Amino acid sequence: MQVVHSIADLRTRIKEYRRKHDQSVGFVPTMGYLHEGHVSLLRKARTQSGLVVLSIFVNPLQFGPGEDFERYPRNTEKDLQLAEAAGADLVFMPTVDEMYPTPIRTTVSVTGLTSRLCGASRPGHFDGVATVVSKLFHIVQPDQAFFGLKDAQQIAVIEQMVQDLNLDIEIVPCPTLREADGLAMSSRNVYLSEQERKQALVLSQSLEKVKEFIQSHPSFSSEELVQLVSSHISTAPLATIDYVEALGYPTLEPFEIGHHPASIIVALAVKFGKTRLIDNLIIQVRK
Amino acid sequence: MQVVHSIADLRTRIKEYRRKHDQSVGFVPTMGYLHEGHVSLLRKARTQSGLVVLSIFVNPLQFGPGEDFERYPRNTEKDLQLAEAAGADLVFMPTVDEMYPTPIRTTVSVTGLTSRLCGASRPGHFDGVATVVSKLFHIVQPDQAFFGLKDAQQIAVIEQMVQDLNLDIEIVPCPTLREADGLAMSSRNVYLSEQERKQALVLSQSLEKVKEFIQSHPSFSSEELVQLVSSHISTAPLATIDYVEALGYPTLEPFEIGHHPASIIVALAVKFGKTRLIDNLIIQVRK
């Protein structure tokens, strides 16, 4: 496994690989502080791609004022161990200056999909995501890119961008990985106090309840689903709900009772102290 | 020379070329109705690139309401003759449906460079340009792309986008071509009546006057240059000035007397009836 810090160096190595091999390049973009979720993306890439490229870059552009850019957890040594064990070939770790040598004047924005959920609570967040992913895609020029479905809205945004801008890249959505007790894996889980960690279980539990509810209720409204999730989360005294929404997926559009689309998402963002966690359930619904 | 209409077909042919040849791919994006200016871009590409790709696509996204999208001149037969004679290898002529099969939700915008000149008179124009050029760059994946300096602001915007988004493409600016009497070549010149055509000469003449003025005046203000151009244009009764500006190039920022940057642009847009013409002079100035 090779670790590179400069764009020029990365490009040279990938071009070199492509000259010698007729195999695909797979890409896993991350902000580091890797957990089993990231590892599962690398393993998936390892099965599909000839060259597996991991990027580790905490992108300032996608953090709002007062968000956790400065304190976002970092642990390069452990990241590199996990990456190597999972079969990464090339790790790209640019500095902020390497990615933004001059103030960036170009923005990639995706409308429609970004007005709800995290897009509503974190204005500008998805512009920052689309812009940096666009940069990384141009730098790496992968054939496939692997993203975790915990960030389901991010995947919807990136798939829309890829389609609209004719990027020749296959987006591979991968399932959310969970701790043994159900909590969705996240680099931000490390922020949680012991008490918060225990109470954070209400998130995955509430989504399990939705799953059961939908299975036993052929007709349901988005309000019922939201109500079910919200009331369960409210049993945790340390939880403050940012949003709970039930929408079509990947359109992220509201639906009427009896007219739900084939695939829906129930998504939530909840704060425990300063720590904001997200989780979601994407479910195929019988019509 | 091959003519292709679908993105998939174009990609297949370019990939095929790259598999067989270790030479570069050059790209000349146009809106068709080719004139000698476009031909000069193709000839330039012919000298620098192994495969010369021309696109002909009148992009609705960069036309505002009330602009000339519907009546923009088209002449495919003549375009293909000129392209072949100039040495194009592949011509990409997509329909609007091929480029925009579903309503586009993704926008590429470049701030700072687009608030003045044509950006001010044509709101949204450069978002449309940056977005379609981004699409075309992803479709063709060229090594070099050739643009005419008549659209100097467009080149500044595209160079900024390429730098900010790490596109691995060299932008090659090419000189404006002019009719024997000095009028900058443009597909829109065909709109001009005989009288308008005669009076349109004031545009290039006024820029010639600026050139002479700067050569004999080591210190000058942007206001002086603008005044010189505007007063000459005003001698043409059919001319209505949209803008005349003198700015740094490629920053497109205003300058103070005695503190001009190394390179400046004097740019103008003038209407003759419904026809809007642009022209500019980019000049290196001794400090």
Nearest residue in chain A measured CA to CA from B126: A106
From residue B267, alpha-carbon distances to B159, B195, B225, B279 in Å are: 18, 23, 10, 6
> What pLDDT tens digit does each residue of chain A (287 aa) get?
999 999 999 999 999 999 999 999 999 999 999 999 999 999 999 999 999 999 999 999 999 999 999 999 999 999 999 999 999 999 999 999 999 999 999 999 999 898 999 999 999 999 999 999 999 999 999 999 999 999 999 999 999 999 999 999 999 999 999 999 999 999 999 999 999 999 999 999 999 999 999 999 888 899 999 999 999 999 999 999 999 999 999 999 999 887 778 899 999 999 999 999 999 999 998 76
Inter-chain contact B167–A102, Cβ cutoff 8 Å? Answer: no
- Six-digit token string for B115: 């608030």
* C-alpha distance from B31 to closest chain A C-alpha (Å): 18
Residues contacting A52, CB < 8 A, separation 6+: A26, A28, A42, A45, A46, A87, A88, A89, A90
**Interface check B12 vs A, CB under 8 A:** no
- Residues in A touching B160 (Cβ below 8 Å): 105-106
Q: What whole-number distance in Å separates Cα of residue B103 and Cα of residue B97? A: 10
Reported as a single tens digit per residue, the pLDDT across B137-194 is 999 999 999 999 999 999 999 999 999 999 999 999 999 999 999 999 999 999 999 9
Nearest residue in chain B measured CA to CA from A134: B165
- Are A210 and A266 in contact by the 8 Å Cβ rule? The answer is yes
**Interface check B168 vs A, CB under 8 A:** yes
A 79-98 residues inside an 8 A Cβ radius of B: none
- Residues in A touching B106 (Cβ below 8 Å): 108-111, 130, 160-161, 164-165
Amino acid identity of residue A237, one-letter, is P
**Interface check A6 vs B, CB under 8 A:** no
- Which listed residue (A5, A21, A38, A259) is catalytic? A38
Inter-chain contact A164–B135, Cβ cutoff 8 Å? Answer: yes
pLDDT, residue A127, reads 97
- Six-digit token string for B231: 């007063």
Answer positive or negative: Cα dihedral of A186, A192, A197, A202: negative
- Six-digit token string for B56: 């002909």
Inter-chain contact A106–B11, Cβ cutoff 8 Å? Answer: no
| Active site annotation includes A38 | yes
> What pLDDT tens digit does each residue of chain B (287 aa) get?
999 999 999 999 999 999 999 999 999 999 999 999 999 999 999 999 999 999 999 999 999 999 999 999 999 999 999 999 999 999 999 999 999 999 999 999 999 898 999 999 999 999 999 999 999 999 999 999 999 999 999 999 999 999 999 999 999 999 999 999 999 999 999 999 999 999 999 999 999 999 999 999 888 899 999 999 999 999 999 999 999 999 999 999 999 887 778 899 999 999 999 999 999 999 998 76
Burial class of residue A183 in the structure, from the number of CB atoms within 10 Å of its CB (0-12 exposed, 13-18 middle, 19+ buried): buried
Inter-chain contact B105–A7, Cβ cutoff 8 Å? Answer: no
Nearest residue in chain B measured CA to CA from A21: B19
A 142-161 residues inside an 8 A Cβ radius of B: 160-161
- Are A118 and A153 in contact by the 8 Å Cβ rule? The answer is yes
* C-alpha distance from A206 to closest chain B C-alpha (Å): 32
Reported as a single tens digit per residue, the pLDDT across B13-29 is 999 999 999 999 999 99
Residue of B14, B104, B105 to mutate, testing the A interface (most A Cβ within 10 Å of its Cβ): B105
- Six-digit token string for B244: 């005349």
- Which listed residue (B5, B21, B38, B232) is catalytic? B38
- Residues in A touching B131 (Cβ below 8 Å): 165
- Residues in A touching B130 (Cβ below 8 Å): 106
Inter-chain contact B113–A105, Cβ cutoff 8 Å? Answer: yes
- Residues in A touching B112 (Cβ below 8 Å): 105
Inter-chain contact A107–B102, Cβ cutoff 8 Å? Answer: no
Q: Which residue stretches of chain B are H helix?
A: 7-20, 36-48, 76-86, 96-99, 117-121, 125-140, 152-164, 194-199, 201-216, 222-233
- Residues in A touching B141 (Cβ below 8 Å): 168
Residue ranges and CATH numbers for the domains of chain B are 2-174 (3.40.50.620), 187-279 (3.30.1300.10)
pLDDT, residue A166, reads 98
DSSP string, A135-193: HHHHHH--SEEEEEGGGHHHHHHHHHHHHHTT---EEEEEPPPB-TTSPBP-GGGGG--
SS3 content of chain A, % helix, strand, coil (to 5): 40, 25, 35
pLDDT, residue A287, reads 63
Q: Which residues of A are annotated as a binding site?
A: 31-38, 62, 148-151, 154, 177, 185-188
**Interface check A106 vs B, CB under 8 A:** yes
Q: What whole-number distance in Å separates Cα of residue B252 and Cα of residue B148? A: 17
Cβ pairs A/B, distance under 8 A: 70
Please give the helix or strand (H or E) that residue A265 lies within, else none: strand A263-272
Tell me chain B's radius of gyration from C-alpha atoms.
19
**Interface check B114 vs A, CB under 8 A:** no
Indicate left, alpha or beta for A69 from its phi (over 0: left) and psi (-120 to 50: alpha).
alpha
- Are B254 and B247 in contact by the 8 Å Cβ rule? The answer is yes
Under DSSP, the state recorded for B40 is H
Q: What whole-number distance in Å separates Cα of residue B169 and Cα of residue B181? A: 35
3-class DSSP state of A246: strand
pLDDT, residue B287, reads 64
pLDDT, residue B219, reads 85
**Interface check A254 vs B, CB under 8 A:** no
Please report the ipTM that was assigned to this predicted complex: 0.95
pLDDT, residue B285, reads 85
CA–CA–CA angle A242, A245, A249 (5° rounding)? 130
- Residues in B touching A108 (Cβ below 8 Å): 106-108, 165
